[in-house]
Amino acid sequence: MGARLLCLCLLTALLGYYIYSPLPEELAQPWTVMLTSAALRALGHLSEAAELLGLMHYMEGLRLITVVELVAPTSDENVTVTDTELSGVPIRLFLPRRAPGGLRRAVVFFHGGGWCLGDAGMHGYDLVSRRISNELNAVVVSVNYRLAPPHHFPAQFEDVYSVTKFFLQSKVLSQYGVDPARVCVAGDSAGGNLAAAVAQQLLEDPEVKTKLKAQVLIYPALQALDLDLPSYRDNAEKPLLPRSLMVRFWSEYFTSDPALREAMASNRHVPAEAGHLLPLVNWSRWLPAEMRKAHAYAGPAAGGAELARRYPGLLDPRAAPLLAREPRLRRLPRTFILTCEHDVLRDDGAMYAGRLRHAGVPVTHLHAKDAFHGAVTFLAWPLELAVGHRLLSACVDWLRENL
Residues with catalytic roles: 189, 343, 373
The number of residues making up the chain comes to 403
Please tell me the distance from the alpha carbon of residue 187 to that of residue 183, in angstroms, as a whole number: 14
- Asked if residue 56 lies in contact with residue 63, where contact means CB atoms within 8 angstroms, the answer is no
Tell me the chain's radius of gyration from C-alpha atoms.
21
CA distance 20 to 271: 40
Measure the CA–CA gap between 21 and 98, rounded to whole angstroms.
46
8 A C-beta contact, residue 109 and residue 194: no
- What are the angstrom distances between the C-alpha of 42 and each of 18, 37, 45, 61, 265? 9, 9, 5, 11, 21
